[in-house]
Structure 1
Amino acid sequence: MEYGKLFDLLIAPAPDLVTGLEQAFAAAAVTLRETDYADACPIATVALEVASTNETLRRATAEVFEAWIVTGTGVFTRLGLSEDDARRLAIAVISSLEGAFVLSRSLRDVEPLAVAGEAAVATAREMLTGRARG
């Protein structure tokens, strides 16, 4: 899976934000299982290995992550969040996915992805509810 396309391919076409997030985290779990836990985010791997030792590669990984944040912000805005909430949720989703990939690969279990997905959905619901009231 090309993780940069996650927002456009899995979340944007969903009938609503919550469903999109549920589908995205479920798809990530399927991909990990189908690849025997080998296919996770290569950008995170590079970032973890070189961020403090190679400025050129650090900048390159930062650019990729920032592009994902921008894409996620756009999708989440179209699905009903304010620009600020959309950016915050995009960062939270990417952070949750990246951390869940590390744990899932180590544990050889998709439970971390399920838990991260639940947390992302809860955050989205809270943001959507706050938007409806505000």
Structure 2
Amino acid sequence: MDIQEQIAFEKFQAKDSNCDYEELKQRLDHLEKLSGHRYLPMSPRHEAWLVWDAAWKAKAQAVPDAPINKTWDEIHLDPKERLYWSLRTTKKRKSDLNWHHASHQTCVGSTHGRKICEYLGVDPDSKDFIRTQEPTND
């Protein structure tokens, strides 16, 4: 595991979870001491790590003379796009609103579930997880 990659992932997770990076790092260090795993296998954070790791490695192997237009890797390995498509393709109950689906799948509260939907350009109060507007670039 590349330490720079791990730090970048954990800073992204901290920002995405609206918590302090140092606090998250302490929790993960403690978890690693107790269980031997930094991210528990089969947890949403572990799944996100696998996607992040694949994207990081693909980006490191990317050809430096790529055209100015976005490449397939930039589109499909972008963490924001991966999050959108993972939530879009995950099974959900027909009665669930998008914010509930997003909060349930990412293990966050309702406010963050709504923010995730808005971040991805999905209507939080709809039942179809489809982009209705361009996602925010925050």
Point out the structure with max Rg over C-alpha.
2
| Structure richer in helix, relative to its length | 1
Could you say whether these structures have the same fold, taking a TM-score greater than 0.5 normalized by the shorter chain as the test? no
TM-score under structure 2 normalisation? 0.35
Query: Which structure is richer in relative contact order (CA contacts within 8 A, separation 6 or more)?
Result: 1
**TM-score of the pair, normalised by structure 1:** 0.36
